[in-house]
Structure formats: C-alpha cells, structure tokens
Structure 1
C-alpha cells in the first residue's frame, strides 16, 4: 500500500528513518521468499469431497451434492488404487451387486489365474442382465500409495456406487475386499462451477489419446473429453491415467499390466518405475472430467486401462522440462 510522504523539519531525522524503512523492506522480501511454499494446482470449486483409503476402504460422506464436484482422494494405503463412480438401473443397490456381480467375477478371475481362461470367462456369462446397463460417471485415475489426486466431475441426483477393482497380489479384487461403497447424490446443487483447463485431452476408440504434449512444469488442470466410449476386449471402456516414469520403467511391462483380464494384469504390486498420479476414470460418450496435478520435470505417460493400449494409441509419453 502506497502512503503519502511526511515532511520533516530536520534532515538528520529523515535520513535514519529512510534507512530503517529500506532495511525493513529488504528483510520482509527475504522472509517472504524463504517462507513461500511451492505453488499448488488451483481448484476453483469451493466445496471439495474428501475420500480417504487407509486399507481396503473408502472413507467419505454418504451423501454429497449434485452438480460439479471436486473429489480429493488420498491413498494412505500401501497399494495402488482408484475410485470409479458407477450408476446402475433404478432399484439396484450395493447389496444387489455383492450378491449377483461379485461372485461371477471372483470365480471367473480365480479360474483365469489358475490358467483356465475359457472356463473363467464363461463365468461372466452368469452376470445379471442389469449389469450391462451400468454406466460410469468418472472418478480418479490410478493413484500410487501415499499420494493425493483431485478429480472433478458433474453428477446428477441419484444412487451411485464407488468402487476400486485393482487386484491384490493373490488376484482377489479390491471390490471383494471391501472397496465398494454407496453414495447418494442429493437434489441440492453444490454451486460449484466447471473448471477451466489449460491442457485438453480427447480420448476415443478411433484416435486414442490426443493432446498437446508441450507441457511445462508446475500446476496444471487437465480436461478429458470422451469423444466416444466402447467396451474393449476386457469388457470395460477406456479411461485416462497419468503417471511419472522412473529410469527403470519398462513400457512393455506397463502396457501389459493395464489389462485386468490377464493373470498379471492390474495386480499388486504395480510395475517398477511408475508412479501413478491420477487422471479421469471411465465416462460415457460426450462427458468431460478434469484432474489437477503439479508436474515436476521428468518423463511422463498418459495411458488407458485397456488391452494393449499402445496398439490403440492410448499409451502416450511426454517430457516435462526444467
């Protein structure tokens, strides 16, 4: 704040005051620079939905507002996770899913892990017809242990189920270990606004992941537009996951790991040399989700959880420079 100068009758009073003022300004600037924290991604939405995983759980509110919501997901566990928002037909509850959906998936995956792929996939034919009517409305991408990711999606009022189906080291789904919870989206609107992205991603079954790979270090908000959506060979749609690659990262290994239908796919531990930072999980065609991240210099990857993403142009690497 600029102040008006005072008039002093004597120069010997004015000079010491100027020296004191100048010294204080220098000290203040030095202190501010020292204490300034690294810049974080800016979330425009005032209301944030917190989700915490400490083991095989989702700790969160059971009722949230409709409209645009930013989910801040903290993975405080020792395993890789994500959260996916499912909406089943009217009347289908989490109890329905546990009784009719989990058993075929559990038995099918067990048979696949034992080398009986044909018999295992046959189990999925026992899924109820209403399972095929389920729709996904986003969620986070994969997130490595000890990290936090922020994802923003728009939800209409209704009954939803949040799940994670990464597999444990023994091949058992995280959903079967308790990582499935119900949430009610109320008629009350959050009042949040749609975020503004500085990096736009488009994903489709025909063009793969498309984006401008000239990305600087620092905080960014990515938008992910689902130009279309299809069921791939492993019966699920495409999504977008961001990860930082270490020097020992093997792209072929990561490419194969993204397919849950393989015995070693989407299973703990995640491949060496990869740190998942979030993204936007499956959405229906025409929808857009957002995620924020603070990027450090290094090598990164955008990848989709589909069989052989590299062949679908859904494995894209890029460099963030100093």
Structure 2
C-alpha cells in the first residue's frame, strides 16, 4: 500500500498526528503536588485526553488510564513551529476522513490519492513517543524523554464507521517547558530492540509479576501504511485469532484499528513510534499465560515484528 512518491513522506506525518484534543482552553500545569510520585496522569473517559497543558522537559513517566469503552493510545507529535491542533483540524483530519471513507468503499486508489491534499509541512512532523494500545479499563505506564517545545497529543484508532478518533476530539496541544523534570532515565529488567532488519528482539523468558521494559529503536522507517514501527504488548486468550489481530494492526486495511478490537485479546501498553536511536520504557504486570509484542505495520509476522511468548509462574 506504499506509494512511491513524496506522498508517502507526507502521509506518515499526517497519520501519526491524529491525537488528543482539548476543547477547554483553560491552561493546566503539572505542579509538584500533582507529580509527587513523578508521574503525569492522562485519563480518557470519552474522546478526550484529561492531562496538564504544560509539563516539564526531560524524562517523564505518563500513567495513561483508559476509562472509556474504546481502545486507545496516546502519541506525541512534534509539529512544525507555529502549527497546532487547529491546523490539524483544518488541513489534516478532513483529508484522512475523506480518504478512509473511499478506502472503506473499496476505492483504495482514489482513497490514497486523497492524501495528496495534505499540506507540505506535514512532512516535517516528528513522532517522539507515547503509549502502546490500551484496551478499555486498562492502565499503562510509559516513560520517554521530551525536549522543550510545543507538541500535539493524538489517538487515531477508528470508530466503527471508519472515522478516526482524532476527528472525534482526541487531539490536544501540549507545551513542554524548559524546566527539567529532574527525573532520571528508568532502569529496565527486560530489554527490547526493534529495527527493520531484525524486527523485535528480546529475551522471551519472562516470569510473572511486574516488569519494566525498555524499547530501543535501532532504526525507524516508513512502512507501507506510512507509519513507523512501534511496540504493543497484548495478552492473548486461548481463542485469540492471530491472523485477525495482525490484520487489525494495519490502519490502512478497511477494518484496521477499527472498533471493536478483535475478541480474546487485551492491549496492555507499550511504546509508540519514536525516532531512530531513541529509547522508551513501559511497565506491565504479567500473569501466567500467552502474550504478544506486535507493531502497527502491515504483515507484521513476515517482518519479525510480531512475537508470541509465554509467561511462566
């Protein structure tokens, strides 16, 4: 589904920029009291990101509580200077919605042609991290480093009618202040690396209990669906359909990333798209059973970006 043109560069920027929006202009800042456990909380109850408008720079840990009936993630995008969620609403989201409507009607070629209408500046968007997918009722904890500047938070999972969550209000402007958080880089007991050459690599001998995973981005690339690779942790029930899950992870499929999520799988976090050379962290409490690490890319299994493992007692 990759388009061999400059359009592919535009589209990766756009897609990954479909995240959370705040309807309230009232500014909120993460104070020392609010961050007394050095964690910034994000809550989603509907199509929203309830979180501070301003946070410190440096290493930050985000505890994302998905209290909604939908599957979500959060992704932090570095837009070109001066661009905000209003620019995304006016110039980006309508293009994606129109394109997805055509793709769902079986008009893939016409749908992907729509992306030529994206603004040139979208090729400058950088995706700097976020959480993996979280099923309803799940809480994920993700840590990564942020430089001072203005960002946009988003979620581009799709409704059952194909409309992206970004168009439902899940985009939010975020200011990262020059004040450093003072937090240290986390320590991990389980190390993961991800690349186009080796796929997802880790020691899959994991016991039950709480773990801190590091995710090192050995490289990053634009896949056929115009997004980079990421790491999502999934708990698998016995009747989980792995082919269905793999197809669902590709947003460019008509039913990809669309609600409802596949049955018998529970998304419990991870680390979203990051640039080459960066490292993110996430925590997860594992119980005995089968799990999977998977990227949001087409044909993940053929790229070694879909790894099943078992957690022992």
Q: Same fold judged by TM-score > 0.5?
A: yes
CA distance in 2, matches of 1:198, 1:284: 22
Deviations 1:70-99 (A, max 9, x none): 000000000100000000111111111111
CA distance in 1, matches of 2:223, 2:115: 15
- 1:307 match: 298
1:89 is the counterpart of 2:80: yes
Q: CA deviation at 1:46?
A: 3.8
1:98 is the counterpart of 2:89: yes
1:180 is the counterpart of 2:141: no
- 2:29 match: none
- 1:22 match: none
CA RMSD of aligned residues (A): 0.8
Q: CA deviation at 1:133?
A: 1.0
Residue of 131, 135, 143 corresponding to 2:134: 143
- 2:155 match: 164
Deviations 1:254-278 (A, max 9, x none): 1111100011101011111100000
CA distance in 1, matches of 2:155, 2:196: 23
Which runs of 5 or more structure 2 residues have no equivalent in the other structure?
A: 1-35
**Paired residue secondary structure (1:242):** strand
- 1:41 match: none
- 1:67 match: 58
Residue of 187, 193, 203 corresponding to 1:202: 193
Spell out the pairing of 1:1-322 with structure 2 (5 A cutoff): 46-322=37-313
CA distance in 2, matches of 1:239, 1:204: 10
CA distance in 2, matches of 1:264, 1:217: 33
**Paired residue secondary structure (2:192):** strand
Higher Rg of the two aligned structures: 1
**Contact map agreement 1:46 1:192 (CA 8 A) in 2:** no
**Paired residue secondary structure (1:290):** strand
TM-score computed with the length of structure 2 as normaliser: 0.88
Q: CA deviation at 1:154?
A: 0.3
CA distance in 1, matches of 2:278, 2:204: 22
- Tell which deviates more after alignment, 217-226 or 94-103: 94-103
CA distance in 1, matches of 2:40, 2:122: 27
TM-score computed with the length of structure 1 as normaliser: 0.85
**Contact map agreement 1:258 1:308 (CA 8 A) in 2:** no
Deviations 1:142-193 (A, max 9, x none): 0000010000010000000000000011111000000000110001110000
CA distance in 2, matches of 1:284, 1:215: 27
**Would you identify which runs of 4 or more consecutive aligned residues in structure 1 move more than 3 Å?**
none
**Paired residue secondary structure (2:207):** coil
**Paired residue secondary structure (1:101):** helix
**Paired residue secondary structure (2:206):** coil
